[in-house]
Amino acid sequence: MIYQDSKTLLEVRGLCATVQGVEILKGIDLTVRSGEVHALMGPNGSGKSTFAKALAGHPAYAVTGGAVLYEGKNLLELKPEERARAGVFLGFQYPIEIPGVANSQFLRLTYNTVQAQRGKDELDPLEFDDFVREKMKLLEMNPDFLDRSVNEGFSGGEKKRNEILQMALLEPRLAILDETDSGLDIDALRVVAHGVNRLATKDNAIVLVTHYQRMLNYIVPDYVHVMESGRIVKTGGKELALELERRGYDWVSVEQRAAAGAAA
């Protein structure tokens, strides 16, 4: 939601990035203020996921130009773990499985690590168990998932719930959710979207990276951005997503080329 007294959380200016020497991001501009929900849409290969990972500090993505300010500070000079502790959260498109580590153990470790860094109290296993079970209710997750290995043998929907559960625990100020809707059936989508909505406050912001409009029926964006070839080429309100759903992405490119031609 757009608030009058919001603060600028993220300011991206002309961000360029390469993967294995290939330029994928070619100058992204984006401003995200507290309280807002942004949807970042676009066809496959347009650079959406690269942008999400570059913001989280993935080492495979080399930033070659531009600037990213997070709460007024240079985000790019922080290590991935420092970004996480500072309140940047990336919900993974393909969450990693870690056989041999109980989910409860992992969740508590990440929670306590971030709490300690923020100068807050850590929780012992018993306290954490109560705390995490409460958060799991938000996502209608079976507590059995605490005893299983992290994401191992989880269905696509269960993995995504587990991602949002981590978001609920870590309470980020900027959550970037990369294709959180992929692999979800309609019931799981509703539950996950409901969870995300419950976590949205006037102090944090959410960037939804998605190919399809369907999640936006549940999490209503304030802004919809369309990416193409490593740039944001169109920005609109929530109705833009509906138009994309109806007409596909091609017309945006046509319009973009026409505009470029007119300018030339």
Binding site for other proteins (CB under 8 A): 56-60, 79-81, 83-85, 89-90, 92, 95-96, 98-101, 106, 109-110, 113-114, 117, 149, 166, 170
Q: From the CB of 55, what's the least distance to other proteins, in Å?
A: 10
User: What is the C-alpha to C-alpha distance for residues 11 and 36, in angstroms, rounded to an integer?
Assistant: 13
Q: From the CB of 217, what's the least distance to other proteins, in Å?
A: 28
Residues 6 or more apart whose CB falls under 8 angstroms from that of 62 comprise 17, 18, 19
Do the bridges between strand 223-228 and strand 37-41 make them parallel or antiparallel, or are there none, so unpaired? parallel
| Residue 117 near residue 88, CB atoms below 8 Å | no
Q: From the CB of 56, what's the least distance to other proteins, in Å?
A: 5
How many CB atoms are located within 10 Å of the residue 39 CB?
Answer: 25
Q: From the CB of 68, what's the least distance to other proteins, in Å?
A: 16
Query: Based on CB atoms, which residue is closest to other proteins, 125 or 261?
Result: 125
How far apart, in Å, are the Cα atoms of 137 and each of 54, 103, 105, 143?
32, 16, 19, 9
Query: Based on CB atoms, which residue is closest to other proteins, 38 or 159?
Result: 159
Query: Based on CB atoms, which residue is closest to other proteins, 92 or 154?
Result: 92
Query: Based on CB atoms, which residue is closest to other proteins, 61 or 249?
Result: 61
Strand extents, DSSP E, 142-241: 149-150, 174-178, 205-209, 223-228, 231-236
Q: From the CB of 26, what's the least distance to other proteins, in Å?
A: 23
User: What is the C-alpha to C-alpha distance for residues 66 and 71, in angstroms, rounded to an integer?
Assistant: 17
Query: Based on CB atoms, which residue is closest to other proteins, 97 or 187?
Result: 97
Do the bridges between strand 205-209 and strand 22-33 make them parallel or antiparallel, or are there none, so unpaired? unpaired
Burial category of 128 from C-beta neighbours within 10 Å (exposed 0-12, middle 13-18, buried 19 and up): buried
Query: Based on CB atoms, which residue is closest to other proteins, 102 or 242?
Result: 102
Q: Sheet containing 22-33: which strands, arranged edge to edge?
A: 22-33, 8-19, 61-70, 73-74
Query: Based on CB atoms, which residue is closest to other proteins, 163 or 228?
Result: 163
**Alpha carbon 219 to chain centroid distance?**
13
Q: From the CB of 165, what's the least distance to other proteins, in Å?
A: 12
Q: From the CB of 152, what's the least distance to other proteins, in Å?
A: 9
